[in-house]
Amino acid sequence: MGNVDRVDITLPTNEMVFYVRRDRNLRSRWKHDRENLCREFGLSRPEIDALMGDPSPRTLMDLGVHQYLIPHILRLTYGETGMTNLHPALTAYQREFPQETSNAIGQSKWDITSKGDNGDG
């Protein structure tokens, strides 16, 4: 799942997320004016598309986003409250990397594919 060897240190998304996660005004713009914020940081169309809607960890990694920044992107997008096992920021990896997460947490209370998960574990 890791992508350290594929990180593009020149990718504008990496720089933008570094600043957005630390600045209240930029976080507000992320919520209310994301596309224009992305343009101001010089993101390409594929980068912007990857950040709009439901961000895909796999797509972001394929673009060269640093794996450390992807959880920040998910929390910026979905928020940090109500973090149950079924929160979209937590299930994004299971959705994108089903085999890897099944190998790591399959049949545990964190596996969203397990029957009977009520999302509170």
pLDDT tens, residue order, the chain (121 aa): 556 778 999 999 999 999 999 999 999 999 999 999 999 999 999 999 999 988 999 999 999 999 999 999 999 998 877 667 777 877 887 888 888 878 887 777 767 766 444 444 4
Q: Tell me if 47 is assigned to some domain.
A: yes
Q: Which of 12, 3, 99 is nearest to 58 (CA)?
A: 3
pLDDT at 117: 45
In a domain, 112, yes or no: no
User: Is residue 78 domain-resident?
Assistant: yes
Residue in 113, 116, 85, 110 with CA at minimum distance from that of residue 99: 113
Residues in the chain: 121
Position 90 in a domain = yes
Does residue 111 form part of some domain?
no
* Domain, as residue range, for 36: 4-105
Residue 118 lies in a domain: no
Whole-number pLDDT of residue 119: 47
> How confident is the model at residue 116, as a pLDDT?
45
The verdict on residue 50 lying in a domain is yes
> Is residue 33 a part of any domain in this protein?
yes
pTM higher than the cut 0.85:
no
Q: What is the pLDDT of residue 18?
A: 96
Domains held by the chain: number? 1
